[in-house]
Amino acid sequence: MKHSSLAHRFPLCISFAIAFSLVFLCAAKPVAPPAEKPASKTPVLADLSSDEMVRRALEDSLYYDYEKWFALFKDKVRELESAPPTLENKMELMKYYFFLAGLYTEYSHTLAFTSKFSVASVKKDFGFYIKRTKAIAQEILDRPGLGEAHKADAYLYLGASEGYLGIFEYGAGNFIRALVNGFQADNHLEQALEIKPELLDAHLGLGIYRYGNSRLGGMGNFFMQGGKDRRREGVLHVERAIKKDALTRPLALKTLVWFYISEQINPKNQNLKPPHPMSKKLCRNRAVQLIKIFEDVYFKPGARDGFVGNKDLAMMKAIQYVLDGEYALAGKEFENIVSIAKYLKQEKNYPVNPQLIATALQGKLFCDLMTGGSSSKGKSRRSCVKINQQIDFLDGGGSFVDYDFKKIQSEIQDVFHDKLTRLSGDLNC
């Protein structure tokens, strides 16, 4: 079978942030990020600690509320850049540089960046702030007499920035630099935890690294991890970040849901039965449980006026429903993605990838065919034409889901393809 993904890329899975949110590969026409509103100098925001700011900013990003945080973090950066170069000021500046890079990461994910679609200005700003993070972290570590607590924090942000840069370099075709950054990221995150085990966010980075390299395999895993299968180890790192309420908990929840969805279709798990933790049944149960936790914790009904939904949540639910054969429910989630994309374009004026709506509509058509094909009314020549058109669409490189890892996206596409092929056979198309 011949498919290619909407996102033609094979990253090394060495990012500190969510594994499926950012690979910057090619430029588009420069489009500015959301218009920045003046930061409100109120105790509610400006006087919060840096940790509390990033926690709130990440939660707001789930509701596509970026503008005030871009403005506030940039205000903080300007203040700290003008302040005396004390150790504490440098530590804070390092954090805010990284927060801005992370915010641009989440924004790029909202815009549905792929290898064929990106926004040049967003790429540029991300690159600037993540490189500044790495430079200041290294500068801090080079200070004589640095205390252990400061050293651990500097290693955390150094490893995190190297993880991001590894993906950036891979996307630019700089494979050696990507490998070097990835290897350094792993080492520095481990060093951070050795010094300060309570740095929970390091577990997310290590979890992504351990799981992703093992899942994707190939030469990357051979060079990075000696070819070892460390999927379970990676999963447990991310589980710990969730259970201990790390600052990056919403990102960890999304990451882990996709890990467990991925394991349900992983050919390596085909013959595994419970109580093996990577068996299809247990992975399915945990994915469903985590989706519910993510929804219950962050998306209480009526929490935000005018909010139409989160497309990450809708996509996770849609794919899990497809795996479960709940096609009507999956179809509703694909419809939700269309509504969310239209909201982002029309109400938020975000330069969203135009393929996002087209991809979701194909997913909805798939669900309609699967639902109608199982009924007597669905057994028609017209259904066969549509089914075969979708099979041809997939074989020609089309996609029902935007996913950053080519190997795993191909496996997800195989699920859709196999279901359509079986339906075609059942209807004697």
88-107, pLDDT tens digit by residue?
A: 999 999 999 999 999 999 99
Q: Is the pLDDT of residue 429 over 90?
A: no
C-alpha to C-alpha distances, 314 to 307, 334, 419, nearest whole angstrom: 14, 7, 21
26/395 Cα distance (integer angstroms): 24
Amino acid letter, 405: F
222/374 Cα distance (integer angstroms): 45
| CB contact at 8 A, 220 and 179 | yes
* Among 11, 64, 1, residue whose Cα is nearest residue 403: 11
Q: Is the pLDDT of residue 267 over 70?
A: yes
Q: Rounded mean pLDDT of the chain?
A: 86
pLDDT for the residue numbered 203: 96
> How much is the average pLDDT of 169-192?
86
Highest average pLDDT, of 44-53, 261-270, 408-417, comes from 261-270
* Among 100, 149, 159, residue whose Cα is nearest residue 125: 100
Q: Is the pLDDT of residue 15 over 70?
A: no
Q: Is the pLDDT of residue 257 over 60?
A: yes
C-alpha to C-alpha distances, 156 to 36, 143, 327, 344, nearest whole angstrom: 29, 16, 43, 33
pLDDT for the residue numbered 27: 26
**Which residue is associated with the tokens 């993880």?**
163
Q: Is the pLDDT of residue 270 over 60?
A: yes
Tokens of 429: 């198309």
> How much is the average pLDDT of 268-291?
97
pLDDT for the residue numbered 38: 45
Q: Is the pLDDT of residue 234 over 70?
A: yes
* Among 69, 18, 402, residue whose Cα is nearest residue 242: 18
Q: What is the pLDDT of residues 29-88, one digit of tens each?
A: 333 445 554 444 444 788 899 999 999 999 999 999 999 999 999 999 999 999 999 999
Our separate counts of H helices and E strands in the chain read 16, 0
Backbone angles phi, psi at 142, to 5 degrees: -80, -5
Residue 218: CB atoms within 10 A of its CB come to 12
- Residue 377 binned pLDDT confidence (cut-offs 50, 70, 90): low
293/260 Cα distance (integer angstroms): 14
Q: Is the pLDDT of residue 170 over 80?
A: no
> How much is the average pLDDT of 151-170?
91
pLDDT for the residue numbered 408: 78
335/327 Cα distance (integer angstroms): 12
pLDDT for the residue numbered 262: 95
Please tell me which residue, 16 or 260, carries the higher pLDDT value.
260
| CB contact at 8 A, 315 and 341 | no
Angle between helices 175-195 and 201-216 (to 10 degrees): 140
Please tell me which residue, 143 or 219, carries the higher pLDDT value.
143
3-state secondary structure of 326: coil
The per-residue DSSP string of 48-113 comes to S-HHHHHHHHHHHHTTT--HHHHHHHHHHHHHHHHS---HHHHHHHHHHHHHHHHHHHHHHHHTT-
Q: What is the DSSP letter of 427?
A: T
- How far from each other are the two terminal CA atoms of the chain, in whole angstroms? 19
339/342 Cα distance (integer angstroms): 5
Amino acid letter, 17: A
Q: Is the pLDDT of residue 185 over 70?
A: yes
Q: Is the pLDDT of residue 6 over 60?
A: no
Q: Is the pLDDT of residue 204 over 90?
A: yes
Count of positions (residues) in the chain: 429
Q: What is the pLDDT of residues 313-369, one digit of tens each?
A: 999 999 999 999 999 999 999 999 999 999 999 999 999 999 999 999 999 999 999
Cα dihedral sign for 54, 58, 59, 61? Answer: positive
